[in-house]
Amino acid sequence: AAKAAGRRQCVAIDAAMREAVVLRQRLESELAAAIAEGQIRAWFQPIVDLGSRRCIGAEALARWHHPEFGVLEPAVFIPLMEKQGLADALFRAVLRDACVALRPLAARGALRHLSVNVSPSQFRFGTLGADVLAILEETGFPPQVLVLEITEAVLLLELSHTRDTLVQLCAQGARVALDDFGTGYSNLAYLRSLPVHCVKLDKSLTAGVEDDPRAGRLIRAFVQMAGTLELELVAEGVEAAAQAEWLAAAGCVLQQGYHFERPLPAERLEAVFGRDGT
Ligand code: C2E
Ligand code: MG
Ligand code: MG
Ligand code: MG
């Protein structure tokens, strides 16, 4: 009986895997057209300042509004995007959508920081600089509000080229954030060789800091380093009130996480900006 049950389970898993493969192939074949048709939208996760208890910024996060499957998250389609060389096209879609949606908030000074994620592959052939400048111009979005989030994977590429692109964008007023700091090797050398204004502490560093003295000391050291280097620090993955208060008391006042808000469509972000006392 156990053997038969085992076999049934195998068959079920096998069917599920086949279904997953079919689904992935289907999404893969549809992604390019979906980008072109505007099915990739920017959603926004608020970035709050625990000093003023107000929302001061947001991170744009890609969502695929699939006509049949509903709203799909990046884990499903970012790997397909990379595989098909669609990183630039997807980035343009997200940046344009974000700039159009949030320009009013930025224009009245409520939004100080709009983060957009850049894929490392976008530095390889280099239309990133021109793309960003064209979209800022087309949408009238203030460059000083834009923050490009890069990851340490850019270190695997030709550094001088990456640096040139970022320097060009910074000259127009945009800023650069290191995303997911604390994962991977977190090589500090790129703080020396690239123009970086902001470091985002990954949730693996901020999770449970309020109960873990060792983790806490690490955060304090980063706060001190950020102060010395005049880097803005944003804590990611803040899920609990005690965690938020601990981080704020340690000097890490800019925070992002489910404790405040999950990523929201643009039309629901406005209300968060209007609100006091986060
Ligand atoms: P990321 O840039 O580090 O974005 C933060 C991710 O953490 C988001 O997931 C967000 O929803 C999630 N998150 C926020 N607060 C919490 C929290 O308190 N707890 C937990 N467990 N998670 C939290 P999302 O939207 O699924 O995006 C995942 C990743 O996909 C992003 O990580 C980013 O690397 C990539 N991505 C998203 N949008 C884009 C895009 O437009 N372009 C590129 N190249 N990559 C993108
Ligand atoms: Mg990010
Ligand atoms: Mg991140
Ligand atoms: Mg992350």
pLDDT computed for residue 276 by the predictor: 62
Alpha helices in the chain (DSSP H): 2-36, 74-83, 87-107, 122-125, 128-139, 159-171, 189-193, 203-206, 213-229, 241-249, 266-274
Cα dist. 96→38, 165, 209, 277 in Å?
A: 10, 19, 36, 30
Cα dist. 126→63, 96, 146, 249 in Å?
A: 24, 18, 19, 41
Q: 61 C-alpha to center of ligand 1: Å?
A: 6
pLDDT computed for residue 189 by the predictor: 78
Tell me: the pLDDT tens digits for 38-81? Answer: 999 999 999 999 999 999 999 999 999 999 999 999 999 999 99
Residue 62 has phi, psi (to 5 degrees) of -70, 135
* Ligand 1 pocket residue status of 42, Cβ below 6 Å: no
Residue 233 has phi, psi (to 5 degrees) of -120, 135
Is the ipTM beyond the 0.90 threshold? yes
Tell me: the pLDDT tens digits for 115-139? Answer: 999 999 999 887 999 999 999 999 9
Name which residue sits closest to atom 22 of ligand 1, judged by CA: 237
Confidence of residue 158 (pLDDT cuts 50, 70, 90): confident
Three-class SS state of 50: coil
What is the DSSP-derived secondary structure letter of residue 150?
E
Indicate which atom in ligand 1 lies nearest the CA of residue 238. 18
Q: What percent of the chain has pLDDT over 70?
A: 98
Q: 163 C-alpha to center of ligand 4: Å?
A: 22
Q: Is 194's pLDDT higher than 80?
A: yes
